Amino acid sequence: MAIVIQARPAGIRWVIRGLSILACIALWQVASTTHLNLGIVTFRNVPPPVEVVQSAVALFRSPKLTAHITSSLWRVLAGYGAAVVIGVILGFAIGRSRAASDLLLPPLELLRPIPAVAWIPLSILMFPSSELSMIYITFIGALFPIVLNTVHGVANVDRRLVASARSLGAGGFAILTQVVLPDAAPSIVTGLAIGMGTSWFCLVTAEMISGQFGIGYYTWEAYTLQNYADIIVGMLIIGLLGMGSSWLLTTAGRLLMPWRNPRVAR
Amino acid sequence: MNIRVADVDAKSVGRIDIADVSISLGEGSDAFEAVSGLDFAIAPGELVCILGPSGCGKSTLLGALAGHLPITAGRLEIDGQKVQGPSPDRGMVFQQHTLFPWKRVRDNVAFGPKMRGLARRERDRAADTILKLVGLSGFEAFYPAQLSGGMQQRVEIARVLINQPRVLLMDEPFSALDAQTRAMMQEVLLDILGKIPTTTVFVTHDIDEALFLADRIVVMSARPGRVIEDVVLPFARPRSHDLVTEPEFVRLKRHVMQLLRRPEGSEPLARLSPLGV
């Protein structure tokens, strides 16, 4: 017998999606107020959503929030920004030149399997300030996805397009900027998006271990001070910051590559 | 419109000399001779079709003329100058278009002038003029992906001709199109070449296409490709597709088919690319 799935109007689907989220929050409220204990996991110390909202309101009213967020944003900006510049340059060199690939790829391949978080103890020893070591962790987390995706994009450039550009009078530099860069752009942007995710992940971990200020530090501090509602507020803010920065990236990618969506762009 | 430099007689540029040319492809034990001992000349302004079975090296010869492939023996000259590397003097149109997907039609066509350092205003004007000539006015701001296959090849031809090349090299440019579009594009090409006379080497394995387009057909054998016959076509220009039913056309077609008949039991070879194996 055929199963017929009837198409629902879009409005109703959104209502169902909203109800699903509300149901989750309601379950959370019930579980935490009744101190639900499932044996392997307990909600005894989990603050209910109402308390979390109160904590969030309190944090948003205090000047602490801006201090935490700006120091986190600055670290991501510095570490991730350096990873973008260095990663794209390394990726171009490795993808375009056999000599650069032989010279640069082996050490990178050796370092790549080491998770960025494993660098934390050494980086504290290597850098004069914990600020710099956290930026370094953010940098190293973003570097590899950016390098590898840039190499992939640059090395797989359509050689017919390169041949055509040569036939039309393009020299080495013009081929790089007019053909290789735009052809590799989608792959580079993928690397940038993955790198953005890992760099937030690394930053939060680094802040928890060695930070003063920063949203990861705030979350960990809430745990040590037993302000359990603040833990969840911190988690939510980390999620929002990650979501916002990846939205920025995809939007920038769409604006910079209008040909990828030619029905809209004209 | 004056695409050519005024004081250059269109009849005097675009002579191609192919003298005892052989080209090997592949490396080490995979190396093979793609074409061998090719020896013919093409006069300025002539439209020559190179016809031969798949894998006979006709695209390889075109790749060598474009400067993408080195020759292993012989001499390859355009207007007395040895072919050395790609040049806007030798425009190439591939089977699948090679338009830059990230550039709008106008910027694709204006790419050659941009590389020559022409200012934006001038190169845009030149691009719009030649786009009008290939029948694509109104599509200047489109991206290649928004055009049909036939239109993409027209942009490709415009992008090459804007450089006023000495020779136009075409590698089965219409074989990926449907039959109706292909017939239309053949007429479009003859119309464009009527307005911008350019020596053209057109590679195809379609006998009707070669007979309809060419002044002369160079028929090549299977690998290693050699010239087996040089057929001069008597048909007047301008031509229309009514030509294909005329007795002389049919007679020549039968003759060329005879030349290209594959020996019993032999398998067709894989297509070669003008960029190598």
Q: What is the mean pLDDT of each run of 10 residues along chain A (266 residues)?
A: 63 92 94 90 91 92 90 94 96 93 92 90 90 93 95 94 94 94 94 93 89 89 92 93 91 89 53
Out of B87, B96, B101, name the one closest to residue A259 (CB).
Answer: B101
User: What are residue B25's phi and psi, to 5 degrees?
Assistant: -120, 165
CB–CB contact B67 A182 (8 Å) = no
Which residue does chain A place closest to B147, by CA atoms? Answer: A262
CA B98/CA B171 separation, integer angstroms: 12
Q: Kindly list the residues from chain B whose CB atom is less than 8 angstroms away from the CB atom of residue A160.
A: 94, 96, 98, 275
Is the separation of the CB atoms in A128 and A70 below 8 Å?
no
Q: Write out the two tokens for B189.
A: 């090409």
Residue A262 confidence (pLDDT): 58
Which residue does chain B place closest to A259, by CA atoms? Answer: B102
Q: Write out the two tokens for A114.
A: 């080491």
Q: Kindly list the residues from chain B whose CB atom is less than 8 angstroms away from the CB atom of residue A265.
A: 143
pLDDT digits (tens, 9 = 90+) for B31-68: 888 888 899 999 999 999 999 888 888 999 999 999 99
CA A188/CA A69 separation, integer angstroms: 28
- In this predicted structure, the answer to whether residue B10 has a pLDDT above a threshold of 60 is no
CA A164/CA B208 separation, integer angstroms: 28
Residue A266 confidence (pLDDT): 42
Which residues of A fall below an 8 Å CB-CB distance to B? 158-161, 163-171, 174, 178-179, 182-183, 185, 257-259, 262-263, 265-266
Chain B interface, best mutation among A158, A159, A160, A168, by max B CB count within 10 A:
A168
* Residue recorded with tokens 């002389």: B248
CA A64/CA A58 separation, integer angstroms: 10
Q: Nearest to residue B207, comparing CAs of B257, B270, B261?
A: B257
Complex ipTM, two decimals?
A: 0.87
CB–CB contact A163 B92 (8 Å) = yes
Residues contacting B109, CB < 8 A, separation 6+: B127, B130, B131, B155, B158, B159, B162
Chain A interface, best mutation among B69, B78, B102, B118, by max A CB count within 10 A:
B102
3-class secondary-structure state, position A130? helix
User: Does the CB of B68 have a partner CB in chain A at under 8 Å?
Assistant: yes
Chain B interface, best mutation among A160, A161, A167, by max B CB count within 10 A:
A167
- In this predicted structure, the answer to whether residue B261 has a pLDDT above a threshold of 70 is yes
pLDDT digits (tens, 9 = 90+) for A37-84: 888 999 988 999 999 999 999 999 988 889 999 999 999 999 999 999
User: Does the CB of B111 have a partner CB in chain A at under 8 Å?
Assistant: yes
Is the separation of the CB atoms in B51 and B205 below 8 Å?
yes
CA A106/CA A101 separation, integer angstroms: 8
Cα angle, residue B147 at apex, residues B143 and B148 outer, rounded to 5°: 160
Q: Kindly list the residues from chain B whose CB atom is less than 8 angstroms away from the CB atom of residue A257.
A: 102
